[in-house]
Structure 1
Amino acid sequence: MDQVKGTPASGLFGATLGFFFGFAAVALFGPTAAKFKDILHLTPPMVGLLVAMPALSGSLLRIPFSAWVDTTGGRKPFLILMLIAIVGLLGLSVVIYMVMFNNLRSGAYGFLLLFGLLSGSGIAIFSVGISQVSYWYSQKKQGFALGAYAGVGNLAPGIFSFLLPVALHRLGLFNSYLIWLGFLIVGTILYYITGKNAPYFQLRQKGLEPVKALEQAKQSGQELFPSKSLIESLIVSAKNLNTWLLVILYFTTFGGFVALTAWFPTYWKSYFGLSLVYAGLLTATYSILTSIIRILGGAVADKIGGSTTAIISLTVMGIGALGLFLAKSIGIAVASEIILAVGMGVNNAAVFKLVPKLVSSAIGGAAGWVGGLGAFGGFVIPPIMGEFVAAYKSAGYAKGFIVFVVLAVVSIAIAYYIKLKAKA
C-alpha cells in the first residue's frame, strides 16, 4: 500500500494541470489568424485550414496515445505529447520571427501548417488524461471527476483568447508566442512533478506481477483495470458500436468547441466589425462558459444518466446554433453563443460519463477513438465554414452555423437510440 504515491485527488490535479497548459499551446491560432491573414494575404479557406491544423494532430494522436495508457499508465504518453507541442510552438516562433524581421514570405504558410500540426499534440493530451483519471476514480464519481478534469483544462483557450489580444497589442506577435512557449515549458515541468499514474500502473512499474498488482491496487481503492494491450484495446473498442455512436456525439460538441474557439475571433471581427480585443473577449466568454459548465454537466450525468443529459444538452445546443444562423444583431448573436456554449459543455461531460459504462472492457481504446475522432471535428468544420464565407461573402459567417444545426439533430437521434438500447 505504501508503494503507491498519490490519491485520486492528486491524480486528478496533476492531469488537469498538464492538460490546461497543453491546450494552451494551440490557444494562439484563433486569435492570431487575422494577423496571419493580413501578413501573408491568405484567403478565407486558407485561414480555415490554418486554424484547423492543430485540431488534426490533436485529434488523431489521441487514438494511439490514449490506448497506450492501458499498458503504461498516463505519465509517459502525457510527457511525450507535451514535448512534441513544445517543438511545434518553438517552430512557430521561429517562422514568425523570420516573417516579421527577415521578410520571409515564400514557404511561410507551409511551415505554419507544419508546426501548427505539431503544436496540436497539446490537444491530444486530453484523452490520455481521461484514461488516467478514469483509472483513479470509481464509476460512481467519474462523472464529476472527468467533468472537472475536462472543464478546468478546457478553460485554457478561453482565458488565453482573452489575454492574447492584450499581449499582441502590448508585446507584438513574436513576443507573445515566446511567452506562450514559456507557459508550455513550465506546464510540462509542473506535470512531471505532480502527474501520477493510478495504483495498478505504479505497482506494475515497480515490478509486481499483474495479479499481485491488481490485488494491491484494489486495496488502494482502484476499481477499473485494463484488460487489453494497446492494439487489443483499440480493436476491442472499435468493434463496439457504442464507441462509434459516442464518437459522433463528441464530434458534434467537442470537435465543434475546438472549431469555434478558433473560428469565433474571425467571425466577430469580420461579420460584426468588432475589434480584436472585443472579438477575443466574446470568444473567451464562449470558451470559458463551455468549459465551466462541463463540470456541472458531469455532476448532472452522475444523477440522471449520460444519455438523458446528452439529449437535453444537444437540444439546447441546436437552439443556440439556430440562433447564430438567423442572427442579424450582435445581441441575438451573443445570446445564441451563450446558449450554444451551455449545450456543448454539458454534452461533452455526458459523453465521457458514458465511455466507462458502455465500453468498460477497453476504456483507453474507447477514450482514444472517441476523443480522437470526436476532436477531428475541430479540423473538419473550420474549412467547411470557410467555404460558406467564400460563397456568400460576409453573410457566410452566419450561414455556416447551419452545420451545427444539422449536427445537433443527428446527435439527438443517436443519444435517444443509446438511451433506448443501453439504458445509460
Structure 2
Amino acid sequence: MSEVQVKGNPNSGLLGATLGFFVGFAAVSLFGPTVVFLQEVVGLSAALAGLLISIPNLSGSLLRIPFAAMVEKDGGRRPFLVLLILSLLGVVGIWLVMIQPAATIADLFPLLLGLGVLGGCGIATFSVGIGQTSYWFPQNRQGTALGIYAGIGNLAPGIFALVLTGLTIPRLGLPGSYLIWSIFLALGILAYLVTGRNAWFFQYRRAGLPDEQARVRAEQDGQQLFPNGKALESLKASAKIPQTWMLVLVYFTTFGGFLALTAWLPKFGIGYMGFDLGVAGMLTAAYSIGASLLRVAGGKLSDIFGGRQTALLSLGAGLVGSLMVALMPRGAGTIAGLLVMALGMGVGNAAVFKLVPQFVPRAVGGAAGWIGGLGAFGGFVIPLGLAAVLESSGYAQGFWIFAGLFVLALMMIIALDGQKTKEE
C-alpha cells in the first residue's frame, strides 16, 4: 500500500466543505418569500406561516447530530452528498407544487411541509462540514478555519434572499425561482463532487490501509486531528457534561436566532415595516450577510481574545439590538437594532465553537453534534414563537423572545467561567 496517493491540502479541503455548505444552506432563504406568496394566494394564517417558515430548520437541525457522527467513519464526503441530494429532491418537489393552481396548492399544504423537511436537509450539512474541516487543521488554526467555513457558508441565505426578491421572483415568479434554484443546487452538487475532499487519514483508510498505518501516513503529511472511532460514545459522554448543555443554549440563541430571523425577516419587512418584497429582501440580505461576515471575524477574534470574552461581548450586543427593536418606534432604529443583532449573533456563533474544546475536551465531536443540532433547532422553534406573539401582540413584541434568550445565554457564559476545564 506504499504507493497510495492522497489528494488535497487544508486549504482545498476548506474550499470544498465551504462550497458544499454554501450550496446546502441557501435553503434557509427559500421559505420566507414562499410564505408571502402563499398568504396572498391561499390566505395562510400566522400560525401556518410560522410553521412553513420554520419547517426546513426542523430537518436542518436534528439531522446534524447523526450525520455529524457519520463523519467519524467516513470523513464527510458521503454524508455531504446524501444531504445535498435530499435537499435537491425537496426543492424540485416544491417547484412541482408551485406550478399547480392556487386551489390545488392549498390542498397540497401538508405535502409542501414534507418537501420543506427534505429541502432543509441541505442546512444539516453544517455539522458535516465542521467535522470535515476540523480534520484538516491543527487546533491553533481551528477558530480561523471554522470561522471562514461557517461565515462564508452563512452568506448563502442573505445572497439568495436578495436574488430571489430582487431578481428572480419579480421576473420569473416563485415557481420559476424554485426551478432556477433546483438547477443551481444540482450544479452545486456537481461542484462539490469535484472539490470536496476528506482529510488524508480517511483517504488512506478508504484505500485499504489499516487505521494505525493510515494515521502514521497522515501524520507524515501533516494531519494532527484524528477520529477516535467512538462517535456514539462521544455523544453519550458529552451528554453527561453540564457544559455541553450550557453551550447548546448559547448556540440556540445565536445560530438558532440567526436561522429564525433570516427566515422571518421577509414577512417582518412587509408586515411591520411596510416594505415591498424587494426592499424586504434587501433587509434580510443586510442582516444575514452582515451576520455571516461577522462570523468570519468572530473566529479570528476568538483565537486572539478567547472564546469566553468574545461570547460575552457578542451576546451583550445581541441583547441591546433585540431591545432596540422591541422598544423603539418603527423606523431607522428598528433597522439599526437588527444590524446590532447581526453583530451579536455572527460573532457569537464563532465564539461558541472555540469554547467547545476548552469545556468539553474529552468529547469534542459529541458536544459539537449536540450543540450544532439542538442549537440550530432554535431556527424551528423561534419562528413559531414569533408567529404566536404576532397574533396576540404584534411584530415588535416578538423580539422580547430574543431579549430573554440573550439574557439566558449570558448567564450560561458567566457560569462557564467557574466550571472551566481547560484553557488554551
Question: 1:261 — aligned with what?
Answer: 262
Question: 1:129 — aligned with what?
Answer: 129
Inter-CA distance 284–41: structure 2 relative to 1 (3 Å threshold) = same
Matched, 1:398 2:399: no
Question: 1:139 — aligned with what?
Answer: 139
Inter-CA distance 140–330: structure 2 relative to 1 (3 Å threshold) = same
Matched, 1:70 2:72: yes
Question: 2:314 — aligned with what?
Answer: 313
Please tell me whether the aligned partners of residues 28 and 262 of structure 2 are also in contact (alpha carbons under 8 angstroms): no
What does the per-residue CA deviation read over 1:328-380, in whole Å, with 9 as the maximum and x for residues that have no partner? Answer: 13100111111110010000000111223433444332222111100000000
Question: Which one-letter code corresponds to 1:44 in the other structure?
Answer: A
Choose from 85, 98, 101 the match for 1:96: 98
Structure-to-structure mapping, 1:102-121, within 5 angstroms: 103-121=103-121
Question: Which one-letter code corresponds to 1:403 in the other structure?
Answer: I
SS of corresponding position for 2:96: helix
Q: CA deviation at 1:83?
A: 0.7
Question: 2:196 — aligned with what?
Answer: 195
CA distance in 2, matches of 1:84, 1:364: 24
Q: CA deviation at 1:221?
A: 1.7
Q: CA deviation at 1:31?
A: 2.3
SS of corresponding position for 2:5: coil
Question: Which one-letter code corresponds to 2:69 in the other structure?
Answer: A
Structure-to-structure mapping, 1:43-58, within 5 angstroms: 43-58=45-60
Matched, 1:39 2:36: no
Question: 1:22 — aligned with what?
Answer: 24
Please tell me whether the aligned partners of residues 322 and 401 of structure 1 are also in contact (alpha carbons under 8 angstroms): yes
CA distance in 1, matches of 2:223, 2:415: 31
CA distance in 2, matches of 1:170, 1:77: 35
Q: CA deviation at 1:297?
A: 0.3
Inter-CA distance 386–106: structure 2 relative to 1 (3 Å threshold) = closer
Please tell me whether the aligned partners of residues 40 and 109 of structure 1 are also in contact (alpha carbons under 8 angstroms): no
Question: Which one-letter code corresponds to 2:300 in the other structure?
Answer: A
Question: Which one-letter code corresponds to 1:359 in the other structure?
Answer: V
Matched, 1:343 2:344: yes
Question: 2:216 — aligned with what?
Answer: 215
What does the per-residue CA deviation read over 1:209-261, in whole Å, with 9 as the maximum and x for residues that have no partner? Answer: 11111112112222221113332232222222222121111100100000000
Q: CA deviation at 1:307?
A: 1.2
Question: 1:373 — aligned with what?
Answer: 374
Q: CA deviation at 1:308?
A: 1.2
CA distance in 2, matches of 1:74, 1:319: 38
CA distance in 2, matches of 1:106, 1:385: 23
Percent identical: 50
Please tell me whether the aligned partners of residues 139 and 356 of structure 1 are also in contact (alpha carbons under 8 angstroms): no
CA distance in 2, matches of 1:218, 1:246: 31
Choose from 5, 19, 22 the match for 1:3: 5
CA distance in 2, matches of 1:274, 1:350: 34
TM value normalised by structure 2:
0.96
Q: CA deviation at 1:122?
A: 0.7
RMSD between superposed Cα atoms in Å? 1.4
Inter-CA distance 99–26: structure 2 relative to 1 (3 Å threshold) = farther
Please tell me whether the aligned partners of residues 324 and 337 of structure 1 are also in contact (alpha carbons under 8 angstroms): yes
SS of corresponding position for 2:209: coil
Question: Which one-letter code corresponds to 1:420 in the other structure?
Answer: G
Question: 1:355 — aligned with what?
Answer: 356
CA distance in 2, matches of 1:239, 1:195: 34
Choose from 413, 417, 420 the match for 1:419: 417
Question: 2:205 — aligned with what?
Answer: 204
Q: CA deviation at 1:23?
A: 0.9
SS of corresponding position for 1:120: helix
Please tell me whether the aligned partners of residues 25 and 180 of structure 1 are also in contact (alpha carbons under 8 angstroms): no
Structure 2 unaligned blocks of 5 or more: none
Structure 1 unaligned blocks of 5 or more: none
| Residues 364-373 or 6-15, more deviating | 364-373
What does the per-residue CA deviation read over 1:175-228, in whole Å, with 9 as the maximum and x for residues that have no partner? Answer: 110000111111111111101111111111111111111112112222221113
What does the per-residue CA deviation read over 1:402-424, in whole Å, with 9 as the maximum and x for residues that have no partner? Answer: 00101111101111222332165
CA distance in 2, matches of 1:273, 1:55: 26
Please tell me whether the aligned partners of residues 27 and 161 of structure 1 are also in contact (alpha carbons under 8 angstroms): yes
TM value normalised by structure 1:
0.96
Question: Which one-letter code corresponds to 2:138 in the other structure?
Answer: S
Please tell me whether the aligned partners of residues 97 and 105 of structure 2 are also in contact (alpha carbons under 8 angstroms): no
